[in-house]
Amino acid sequence: MTQWKPTACILCECNCGLQVQLGGDDGRHLVRLRGDKAHPMSRGYACEKAHRLDYYQNNRDRLTSPMRRRPDGTFEAIDWDTAIGEIAQRLAAVRDEHGGESIFYYGGGGQGNHLPGAYASATRRALGSRYRSNALAQEKTGEMWVTAKMLGVYTRGDFEHCEVAMFIGKNPWHSHSIPRARVTLKAIAKDPARTMIVIDPRRSETAAMADIHLAVRPGGDAWLLAAMVAVLVQDDRLDHEFLTAHAEGVDAIVERFGSISIADYCQRAGVDEADVRRTVDVIARAGSVASFEDLGVQMNHNSTLVSYLHRLVWLLTGNLGKPGTHYVPTSLVNLGGGSGGNKQRTSPVVGARIIGGLVPCNVIAEEILADHPARYRAMIVEAANPAHSLADSQRFREAMGALDTLVVIDVAMTETAQLADYVLPTSTQYEKAEATFFNFEFPENGFHLRQPILTPPPGVLSEAEIHARLVEALGAVTEDDIAPLREAATRGAPAFAQVFFTRVMPNPRLAGLAPVLLFRALAPTLPEGLAEGAVLWGAAMRYAMQHGPSMARAGFDGPAPVAAAALFQAILERPSGVVFAVDEWNSCLERVRGKRAQLVIPELLQELDVLDQPPPAEAKDYPFVLSAGERRSLTANTIVRNPDWRNKKLQEALRMSPHDAQDLGIETGDRVRLSTKRGSAVVVVDVSEMMRPGHVSLPNGLGLGYPDAQGARSVTGVPANELTAAEDRDPFAGTPWHKHVPARIEALASA
């Protein structure tokens, strides 16, 4: 009982290292949790959510048997052989009749688990499935497209050392995304030599501790950021030395922004021109600036344009490649799936731009429901809950109903699972080896393969095992493929590498199935409980071939196969995580494509013209702007289903300004009807000084169904995407406008 077991939190991308004590009547409850000081990235940090992770591990929606939908819509439990056999047969039939391209894959990982997607790549290969997506394609793809064009590499901000920190549509106090967020925020706030700038219509927890809060009009960020670039250009506050050495296109930027009316744009952004000028002055004078844009702008009007303008602000002021600015991390596995915007690919029905290999989430339903020969006919959803998390749930449900086959792989009976033909239950993230590829730190970058702290209950399998069985049932991998590898694995790392490189890599059929081959051949030789880590052998090998020097500085040196074997061993042996890369600041600019930033993206410079169009007429029917999906103290997408886990009041409420509440004659605790063009809901109001008049905000991840002890399901809070529309999306990246939903509010008579 008193033993502390190392693992990590799975509720946001920081994945803070934790130590857990198990207990309770069956010994399977996570009874005590604390930050793990040995974790190289979080170093003992954890927020309030981690302490309530038992609500994830133990809940009434847990699945422990494969389920098959009956014609009447109810589910029956079936055994694994039947489930795998029928699914393989049905998906193969779709492939043979319509082509593997008609089988769509969604998900692959959430905030805490990315190994499922790695193994699923083998199943997709066996099926010939080409199109896929996940949550990144409703938040980060616009930014990815811009970054690919400007730099060719991904960047992050060094908030621990920056003089000026800027957060645009980002509330790290609650949403984190930077390591040890609250420690870092407090350090910046209390240091008079450092400045925190927050751009947010709402006085968020982060805005409240900032030195400068620009309370932009909801959706007004493009004007604000364009005005900031214009001040830099017109007052000649550019870092010419940096730009001459490291950038192309300065003249075109100076010309385009030289004529922008700063006063006019500030007014349209709803921010005082003097405040904007003061902010730009702080940025231009600073020794270092680190900046982070997130959902407040990425799920909003002009989002791709904003991502571009945002990068111009810090590139024109030379804030790349030195401490306290922006760095270029190397990741063990590239989550974006390739080079981003350079290869032009589009989705088969709508013709939407595919960025980072991902079809925009907002077109998926349309691609299924179209009367088009290339429509998607079957879908595998894994570790995601798109029937709840994607725009326009009603239309998404309709699309799921139009599929020939829907397979969901999850731990719980989710909103998406309830629509499936087959639901395959998997071990939780505390019952198997699991990891994420959110490895963005610098100069030391860490990776954490978590060891299981519990055994899985009978009836569930890990995703690795599920995909291996599917690939085998499809006949794509046979014992003849596996046997020589398995034998080599027993002879040690060099022998295994040698056989893998001669038999698998040159063979196009086998190379795409490598994750399953590694799992079948290597897992038997791995320490107990770490079988799912097998696929990381390949990741370590690839990383060693690309980033030898970074790895050598972390202590893994020698020729690539030797260094990779040493890293793989360290990943298996260190239960609190391992530093796999140590970088140098001067490597950042070396990693930029062609070693020079491209300041001009012609399509987006042209798109700037939209900012000069007259504002649209006031929408009389929907006078409010609803931000549908705010991060709060106790929200975590849909990872935790039991509503009891939120032990704080009003976490489910609609936040509204005192001014609007007075107009409507309501108070905190009253109920209102909230309507959009797509739907309507009754919700409790929290009157909050945080909100600007006209702006209201709903939490994300609410509105989940959860059964009581008798099995009767009830819903707590509003499922935000019953109110959002799929066509409201960015013209470049297809990302949704969830933070800017026109809405109407009517007071209801008190109950």
Ligand X SMILES: Nc1nc2c(c(=O)[nH]1)N[C@H]1C(S)=C(S)[C@@H](COP(=O)(O)OP(=O)(O)OC[C@H]3O[C@@H](n4cnc5c(=O)[nH]c(N)nc54)[C@H](O)[C@@H]3O)O[C@H]1N2
Applying CB under 6 A, the residues found at the interface with ligand SF4 are 9, 11-12, 14-16, 46-47, 49-50, 176
Among 117, 142, 152, 296, binds ligand X (CB under 6 A): 296
675 interacts with, out of ligand SF4, ligand X, none, CB within 5 to 8 A per kind:
none
Nearest residue (CB) to ligand X, 415 versus 583: 415
Q: Which of residues 371-390 bind ligand X (CB under 6 A)?
A: 382-386, 389
For the segment 572-611, give every residue that binds ligand X (CB under 6 A). Answer: none
User: CA 544, CA 332: separation in Å to the nearest integer?
Assistant: 9
Structure tokens, 204: 């968020």
- Residue 33's binding partner out of ligand SF4, ligand X, none, with CB under 5 to 8 Å set by partner kind: none
- Specify the DSSP class assigned to residue 500: I
Least Å from the CB of residue 9 to ligand SF4: 3
Rule CB under 6 A: say whether 535 interacts with ligand X: no
Q: Is the dihedral of CA 412, 414, 418, 419 positive or negative?
A: negative
Least Å distance, CB 364 to ligand X, is: 12
> How far is residue 158's CA from residue 137's CA, in Å, rounded to a whole number?
25
Instruction: Identify which of residues 8 and 297 has a Cβ nearer to ligand SF4 in the complex.
Output: 8
- Whole-number minimum distance, CB 644 to ligand SF4, in Å? 18
Asked if 575 contacts 451 with a C-beta cutoff of 8 angstroms, the reply is: yes
Binding test (CB under 6 A) with ligand X, winner from 195, 204, 362, 436: 204
Rounded CA gap, 32 and 43, in Å?
A: 18
Which residues are CB-neighbours of 492 under 8 A, at least 6 positions away?
none
Per-residue DSSP letters for 624-665? EEEEEEE--TT-BTBT---GGG--STTTTSEEE-HHHHHHHT
Pick one of 688, 724, 730, 744: the residue that binds ligand X (CB under 6 A): 724
**Which token pair is 198?**
């927050």
Contacts with ligand X in 84-143 (CB under 6 A)?
110, 113, 116, 135, 138-139
Among 88, 216, 435, 471, binds ligand X (CB under 6 A): 216
C-alpha torsion 732→736→738→743, nearest 10? 90
Contact window for ligand X (CB under 6 A) among 77-85, 88-96, 169-177, 541-549: 169-177
Determine the Cα–Cα distance for residues 48 and 174; give it in Å rounded to an integer: 10
In the complex, minimum distance from the CB of residue 446 to ligand SF4, in angstroms, rounded to a whole number: 13
**Beta carbon nearer to ligand X, 243 or 295:** 295
Altogether, the residues listed in the chain come to a count of 751
Which one of residues 392, 421, 630, 670 is an interface residue with ligand X (CB under 6 A)?
Answer: 630
Q: In terms of CB distance, is 47 or 579 closer to ligand SF4?
A: 47
Judged by CB under 6 A, the stretch of 71-79, 87-95, 295-303, 665-673 that binds ligand X is: 295-303
Q: Which amino acid is at 493?
A: A
Cβ contact 196:189 at 8 Å: yes
For the bound state, the minimum distance from the C-beta of residue 261 to ligand X, rounded and expressed in Å, comes to 21
Count of residues of this chain found to bind ligand X when the rule CB under 6 A is applied: 62
CA 556 vs. chain centroid, Å, equals 29
Contacts (CB under 6 A) with ligand X, residues 555-574: none
Confirm or reject binding of residue 504 to ligand X (CB under 6 A). no
Q: What distances in angstroms separate CA 452 from CA 25, 357, 466, 527, 577, one per listed residue?
A: 20, 31, 18, 12, 14
Nearest approach, Cβ of 374 to ligand X (angstroms)?
A: 25
Q: How far is the CB of 682 from ligand SF4 (least distance, A)?
A: 30
Task: Pick one of ligand SF4, ligand X, none as the site partner of residue 9 (Cβ within 5 to 8 A by kind).
Answer: ligand SF4
Cα dist. 504→226, 478, 483, 562, 569 in Å?
51, 13, 12, 19, 21
Q: Which stretch binds ligand X (CB under 6 A): 82-90, 227-235, 421-429, 475-483?
A: 421-429
Nearer to ligand X, 188 or 412 (CB): 412
In degrees, rounded to 5, the angle at the alpha carbon of residue 474 between the alpha carbons of residues 468 and 477 is: 55
Does 12 participate in binding ligand X (rule CB under 6 A)?
Answer: yes
Alpha carbons 302 and 599: distance in angstroms, whole number: 18
**CB 435, CB 580: distance < 8 Å:** no
- Residue 50 interaction partner, one of ligand SF4, ligand X, none, beta carbon < 5-8 Å per kind: ligand SF4
Number of Cβ within 10 Å of residue 350's Cβ equals 17
253-to-220, 274, 605, 611, 626 alpha-carbon distances in Å: 21, 23, 9, 16, 34
Query: How far apart are the C-alpha atoms of 218 and 233, rounded to whole Å?
Result: 25
Residue closer to ligand X, measured from CB, 53 or 567:
53
Opening angle at CA 117, ends 559 and 538, nearest 5: 15
Query: In the stretch 448-487, what mask flags binding to ligand X with x, by CB under 6 A?
Result: ---------------x------------------------
Q: Say which entry of ligand X, ligand SF4, none residue 532 contacts (CB below 5 to 8 A, set by partner kind).
A: none
The least CB distance from residue 701 to ligand X, in Å, is: 5
| 719 near ligand X (CB under 6 A) | no
Nearer to ligand X, 52 or 486 (CB): 52
Measured from the CB atom, is 46 or 198 closer to ligand SF4?
Answer: 46
Picked from ligand SF4, ligand X, none, the partner binding residue 116 (CB below 5 to 8 A depending on kind) is ligand X
Question: How many CB atoms sit inside 10 A of residue 651's CB?
Answer: 18
CB of 551 to ligand X, least distance (A): 29
From the list 4, 18, 41, 29, the residue with the least C-alpha distance to 445 is 41
Interacting positions 265-294 with ligand X (CB under 6 A): 294
83 binds ligand X (CB under 6 A): no
Under rule CB under 6 A, residue 393 binds ligand X:
no
- Least distance to ligand SF4 from the beta carbon of 455, Å? 24
Q: Scanning the structure block, which residue is given the tokens 């670039």?
A: 229
Of the two residues 43 and 542, which places its CB atom closer to ligand SF4 in the complex? 43
Please tell me whether residue 657 binds ligand X under the rule CB under 6 A.
Answer: no
Q: How far is the CB of 596 from ligand X (least distance, A)?
A: 30
**Cβ atoms of 352 and 359 closer than 8 Å:** yes
Cis peptide before 329 (omega within 30 of 0): no
3-state secondary structure of 246: helix
Q: Which of residues 24-43 bind ligand X (CB under 6 A)?
A: none
The answer to whether the beta carbons of residues 628 and 721 sit under 8 Å apart is yes
CA 337 to chain centre: 13
- Which residue, 353 or 450, has its beta carbon nearer to ligand SF4? 450
Q: Binds 627, which of ligand X, ligand SF4, none (CB < 5 to 8 A, cut-off by type)? A: ligand X
Task: Sheet with 5-8: list strands edge to edge.
Answer: 5-8, 17-23, 29-35
Site residues for ligand X per CB under 6 A: 12, 110, 113, 116, 135, 138-139, 168-171, 174-177, 199-202, 204, 216, 218-219, 221, 294-297, 300, 382-386, 389, 409-412, 414, 426, 428-429, 463, 627-632, 635-639, 700-701, 720-721, 724, 738-739
